A and B are shown apart, each in its own frame.
Chain A
Amino acid sequence: MFRYLVMRVAGMAVMALLATLVVFLIANQVPGDPVLAQLGDLAASDPNMVARYRARWGLDRPLSEQYWIFLKGIFNGDLGVSISTQRPVLDDIRQYAPATVELATVAFLLSIAVGIPLGVLAAIRRDTWIDNLARFISLAGVSSPTFWLAFIMLALFYGGLQIAPGPGRIDLSVISPQTVTGLYLIDAAIARDWEAWRNAAGHLVLPSIVLASGTLGLITRTTRASMLEAMTQDYVRVARAKGLRERKIVIGHLLPNALIPVVTLGGLAYAVLLTGAVMTETIFSWPGLGRYTFRSAVALDFPGIMGITLVVAAVYLVINLLTDLSYALLDPRVARERAE
């Protein structure tokens, strides 16, 4: 098991580094010029200024040297300086990450809390209204574009009915809680500032529903399919023959088996939520990594994009590893296989 872990982690590190190389090469092989994107037309027409700018950001050095500098930086915990915000990329990421983590976690809990019970009910009461509702929700979640869903939600509940707060993490009139974790809900709870807590929670409702829409559908569908599969197994018939109550069969026998594929999917879903919030964050003016990514990409801010790439690839790989490991916990057969 230990050997397996070491191999996996080493492989992951190599993958994450290769990922930055891919982005670096793509970014440098394309016609767009970050200098022009940053300086504006007037300054860019002055060759002296362009040269100084290039020298300042190291853009005049050979490609291999630029990448070497980036690699050396990583091992010193330095991801370079963002061209567009003029601050260390690591500081930027540290500043924007909590907003994304908070939003993604709430959206994740929402999709689990609704998706699993809905999928289970849909499987038990197959072809009834609840099955159809589950089917409708998964279809709508998978088929509606996030950015449009976000608009509809805002137009309806913020603009029209005025029962939901507008974009942003917290109202301007409310003082945001003292930063401890950066997660407003936790920080506000620590400070016992319940007004800020309520306000921040209110601001989370719409964006988390929008963000959760896709994963909710996937989790519902997978839970339902995997429950139906489990229901055909012999041990269920045995449990019935023993005269166990239906409730007990579902909770005690079916769920633990049916949820194994959902765990894999759940891990992936969390990774998708953490990294896929670009649209949601852009529309809800959510000061998170998604919006930062978008702004870096549009500004051709290479250090910013590469920093984000590294973080995102790392998150993906770590969550994948954790998912695989949890598999071993849930399914003893897998653990035995690996140990051998």
Chain B
Amino acid sequence: MSQAADSAAEAWHADRFGRWRRRFGLAAFGAAVVLMWIAIAILAPVIAPYPFEAVDVTKRLLAPSAQHWLGTDALGRDVLSRLIWGSRISLFAGIVVVAIGAALGVLIGGVAAYAGGRAEELMMRATDLVLCFPPIILAMAIAAALGIGVRNTMIAMLVVWWPKFARLARSLVLVQRSQEYVEAAVVMGYGSGRILFRHIVPNAVGPLVVLVTLDVGQAIITFAGLSFLGLGVVPPMPEWGAMVSEGRELVDQWWVATFPGLAILSVVVGFNFLGDGIRDWLDPKSRRR
């Protein structure tokens, strides 16, 4: 009997790495991809083989080769170099929009849930109001109205980005508020601000981290999409969505549009794996769903 238990325990230990890999393998892969792209973005000036704006009409639309690994675009610019530099804007825009959007949303949703009454009603109606637009259309209208530019496009995205975080934060706070430790904090005589930010937020942060991670990918896609439509970056600044747009007519020179798209795909997959992994880690019940 005890022998069987021993061997089971042994097998469990031996299989630990396998279990770890099954559980977190994809998450580790996602984290690796994300870290790789962040490293590429930081090291862009060092690793880009050519300047991203170096126009050379004698080298237009060259196929991938030893000199130009990913070929050149219609102006003779090196696609790989532009891809490397482009990672800066895409990652920056995606991460910053989600970070600020999440902060705003959590603030609004958290305060609404905690305040209750008419303030809550007002804030949540405002949230519903923004949510009844498809985000891309509203962002497009705002971005067009503000004028082209990275900052303006990010502002436009922020306007549509916070509501989902407000909703999640509100429901999380409502759940936490009824917990006993909050009542204890109230009895202790702590102020509402302290209870909200020191007690409730740290306990409710798990699902938020998951949504934030999964959301960066969506933000990168949305920003690239707005850029693709001509609303994101001012040329000749390299950005992945704009690069796809520059190559969209070039079916025979497929490398111009294909590689930037693959870059977006890889970074989004990376964030998705990472987010799923964090969810599994925080909530074992959801595993394998």
Binding site for B on A (CB under 8 A): 15-16, 18-19, 22-23, 26-27, 30-32, 139, 142-149, 151-152, 154-155, 158-160, 224-225, 228, 271-272, 275-276, 278-279, 282-283, 293-294, 297-298, 300, 305, 308-309, 312-313, 316-317
Instruction: Give the Cβ gap from B218 to chain A, nearest Cβ, in Å.
Output: 8
Chain A contacts of B140 at CB under 8 A?
A: 278, 293-294, 297
Contact present for A312 and B137 (CB under 8 Å) = yes
Contact present for B146 and A32 (CB under 8 Å) = yes
Give A159 to B251 CA distance when docked, in angstroms. Answer: 6
Which A residue's beta carbon lies closest to that of B266? A143
Contact present for B272 and A143 (CB under 8 Å) = yes
19 contacts between A and B (CB under 8 A): A15-B132, A23-B141, A31-B147, A143-B272, A145-B264, A145-B268, A147-B225, A147-B244, A147-B245, A151-B258, A297-B137, A297-B144, A297-B145, A298-B144, A300-B145, A305-B141, A309-B137, A312-B137, A316-B132
Binding site for A on B (CB under 8 A): 128-130, 132-134, 136-138, 140-147, 159, 217, 221, 224-225, 228-231, 241, 244-245, 247-248, 251-252, 254, 257-258, 260-261, 264-265, 268-269, 272, 289
Contact present for B248 and A143 (CB under 8 Å) = no
Chain B contacts of A27 at CB under 8 A?
A: 141, 145
Q: Which of B133, B231, B248, B257 contacts A312 (CB 8 A)?
A: B133
Given the contacts A30-B146, A155-B254, A317 and B132 also touching, CB distance less than 8 Å:
yes
Secondary structure at the A interface, as helix, strand, loop or mixed, is helix
Instruction: Give the Cβ gap from B80 to chain A, nearest Cβ, in Å.
Output: 17
Chain B contacts of A308 at CB under 8 A?
A: 137
13 more contacts with CB within 8 A, not counting A26-B159, A148-B265, A154-B251, are A15-B128, A15-B132, A19-B132, A23-B141, A26-B142, A139-B272, A142-B268, A147-B224, A148-B260, A151-B247, A155-B254, A275-B134, A313-B132
Given the contacts A15-B128, A279-B225, A32 and B144 also touching, CB distance less than 8 Å:
yes
Contact present for B133 and A19 (CB under 8 Å) = yes
Which A residue's beta carbon lies closest to that of B131? A316
Give A18 to B257 CA distance when docked, in angstroms. Answer: 40
Chain A contacts of B145 at CB under 8 A?
A: 26-27, 30-32, 297, 300
Contact present for A139 and B269 (CB under 8 Å) = yes
Q: Which of A155, A294, A305 contacts B251 (CB 8 A)?
A: A155
Instruction: Give the Cβ gap from B225 to chain A, nearest Cβ, in Å.
Output: 6
Given the contacts A15-B132, A272-B134, A283-B248, A145 and B221 also touching, CB distance less than 8 Å:
yes
Centre residue among A145, A294, A312 by max chain B CB count within 10 A: A145
Contact present for B147 and A142 (CB under 8 Å) = no
Which A residue's beta carbon lies closest to that of B155? A30
Contact present for B137 and A275 (CB under 8 Å) = yes
Chain A contacts of B129 at CB under 8 A?
A: 15, 18-19, 22
Chain B contacts of A154 at CB under 8 A?
A: 251
Given the contacts A279-B225, A294-B140, A300-B145, A151 and B261 also touching, CB distance less than 8 Å:
yes
Instruction: Give the Cβ gap from A281 to chain B, nearest Cβ, in Å.
Output: 11
Centre residue among B130, B137, B252, B265 by max chain A CB count within 10 A: B137
Give A276 to B230 CA distance when docked, in angstroms. Answer: 17
Contact present for B289 and A228 (CB under 8 Å) = yes
Complex A-B, nearest 3 residue pairs according to Cβ-Cβ distance, in ascending order: A148-B261, A159-B251, A30-B145
Chain B contacts of A225 at CB under 8 A?
A: 289
